[in-house]
Structure 1
Amino acid sequence: MVRTIYWFICFWVKLIILIPSYFKAKKIEDLEEKSKFADKKARSYMGSLLKIAGCETVVIGLENIPMDRAVLFVSNHQSNFDIPLLITQLPGKKGFIAKIETLKLPFVRDWMKFMHCVFMDRDDIRQQVKGITEGVKTLKSGHSMVLFPEGTRSPNGKLQNFKPGGLKLATKSGAAIVPVTINNSMNLMKKGSFKITPAKVTIVISEPIEMTAEMNKDTIKLTEEIKAVIERALM
C-alpha cells in the first residue's frame, strides 16, 4: 500500500512540475514540433512512474515495426498501465484512441491532445464516426496511432471480443497494422483495484499486416485475423 500511495503522490507532483513545459508546448505553433516535444516529455514522465511502480519491461520484435511510415498499432488491453507502457516502449511519435472519460483529467487531456490522441465515446455512434475520421487524417499525415479494440481492460488477461469499427482507421488510411501483445500488465494494477504491485511485463510486437482492397471489404475477417495473432503471443 505504501508503494501505491507514493505512486499517486508522484503522479500529481510530477504533473505539476511539468506545468512550465505544458505552457511551452502550448506556445509551439508547428504541430510536428509540438508532438515531438510532447512525446519526449511523456516518455520521461511515464517512464519514471513505471519505475516507481516496480515495472520491469521486456520487448520482443521491435524490428517488426516499419520506421519509414505511420502505422496503426493494435494491442490487447490488460491494465491502466498499458498506455504508459506503449508510450515508453514503442518507438516514434504516436497518438492513442482514448475513451472520452480521459477528458476529465486536467493537464493529462491536454498533453494527450498535443500527442494527437483521439477521444471517442463508445455510446455515441456519431462521435465515433467523427473520431475515426480524425484518426484517419492523423495516420495520413504520417503520425502513428494505437488502438485497443477490446474497448476496455480484460479482468484476467484473456482476450475479449474485438470491436471491428476501429480497424477502419487502417482500411481507410491504408496504414499497415502492427499487432502488439501485452503480457502480465494486469498484475501491476488489477481491474477494479487501485493497488499497485511490481510485475514483469513482456510486450511482443508481431509482423505488420499490410492493407489490401479485400480487407477493406471484410473488416470482421480482418479483426479475427489480428485477434488470432495477438492471442498466439499471449504467455
Structure 2
Amino acid sequence: FATPLDGSRPVVYMANHQSLFDIPVLFVTLPGQARMLAKNSVFRIPILGWAIRLGGFISIDRSDRSRAKESFDAAVDRLRSGASALVFPEGTRSLDGRLAAFQRGGLLLALKSGLPIVPVGIEGTLEVQSKKSFAIRPRTIFVRYGEPIEVGGYRIRDRDRLAERVRAAVAELARTEVAQ
C-alpha cells in the first residue's frame, strides 16, 4: 500500500479496471467495507447478480434519465449514511491496460456526497486475465492506494478538472499510461 488507510472514514475509491480479477483483489485489500457501484445489467447476470446483491452493491439504472437519477440519489444517500463506494470510473475494462477517460458518475457521486476520493492503482491483473480471454495465468498483482483527494473545493462544473487530477493519480499508482 502506498498509503495506509484504516477504513474508519467513508470515501469513494476510484480504481483502474483491467480484468475481472480487479474486483476480488480490491475486496481483499480494501480497508473497511465498500459497496461497488454497478450498472443495473450486471445484477441480471446469473450467480454474479445474486452475489453482488447479497454484498450490498449499489445498482445504477441507466435505462432512462428518471430511473438513473433515482438510483443515483439512492447511492448518494447510502454514502451519506456512512458507506464507502468502489467505482471503476472508466466504465469498462481496458483492452490494453491504458487508462481510459472517466465517466462522470463516480465523480458526481463524490461531489454530491462530499466524500473524498481515494485513487487506487491496480497493476498485474491484465496479465492474469485479459478482457478477451478466459485463460487465467498466475502473476504478481500490486494494489496501491493514494492520498485522499478532498472534493470540498470543487463544484459540479469543475468535474473535468477533478477527473484529470484523479485520473493522473490512478495512472501513476497503476504505473500505466493514459489513453488519449
- Normalising TM by the smaller chain, what interval? 0.7 to 0.9
User: Counterpart in 2 of 1:212?
Assistant: 152
- Structure 2 distance, partners of 1:155, 1:206, is 24
User: Counterpart in 2 of 1:226?
Assistant: 166
User: Counterpart in 1 of 2:178?
Assistant: none
**Deviation of the 1:188 alpha carbon:** 1.2
**Deviation of the 1:122 alpha carbon:** 4.9
Q: Is the 8 A contact 2:122 2:143 kept in 1?
A: yes
Tell which has more relative contact order, 1 or 2 (C-alpha 8 A, sep 6+). 2
User: Counterpart in 2 of 1:90?
Assistant: 30
- In structure 2, runs of 5+ residues without a counterpart are 176-180
TM-score by length of 1: 0.69
Q: Is the 8 A contact 1:189 1:197 kept in 2?
A: yes
The reply on whether 1:81 has 2:14 as its aligned counterpart is no
Matched residues, number:
175
The change in CA–CA distance for 1:125 and 1:152 in structure 2 (over 3 A counts) is: farther
More helix by proportion, 1 or 2?
1
- Structure 1 distance, partners of 2:18, 2:65, is 25
One-letter amino acid matched to 1:201: I
- Structure 1 distance, partners of 2:169, 2:11, is 17
- Structure 1 distance, partners of 2:126, 2:64, is 28
TM-score by length of 2: 0.88
One-letter amino acid matched to 1:180: V
The change in CA–CA distance for 1:123 and 1:158 in structure 2 (over 3 A counts) is: farther
User: Counterpart in 2 of 1:100?
Assistant: 40
- CA deviations 1:76-101 (Å, max 9, x no partner) are 10001111111111121111011333
Any residues of structure 2 matched to 1:100-139 within 5 Å, and which? 100-122=40-62, 124-139=64-79
- CA deviations 1:25-66 (Å, max 9, x no partner) are xxxxxxxxxxxxxxxxxxxxxxxxxxxxxxxxxxx2241x35
- CA deviations 1:165-207 (Å, max 9, x no partner) are 3211111111111000111211111111111111111111000
Q: Is the 8 A contact 2:43 2:52 kept in 1?
A: no
The reply on whether 1:71 has 2:38 as its aligned counterpart is no
- Structure 2 distance, partners of 1:125, 1:188, is 37
One-letter amino acid matched to 1:108: L
Q: Quick one: percent identity of the two aligned structures?
A: 35
- In structure 1, runs of 5+ residues without a counterpart are 1-59
One-letter amino acid matched to 1:61: A
Quick check: which has more Rg, 1 or 2? 1
- Structure 2 distance, partners of 1:177, 1:106, is 31
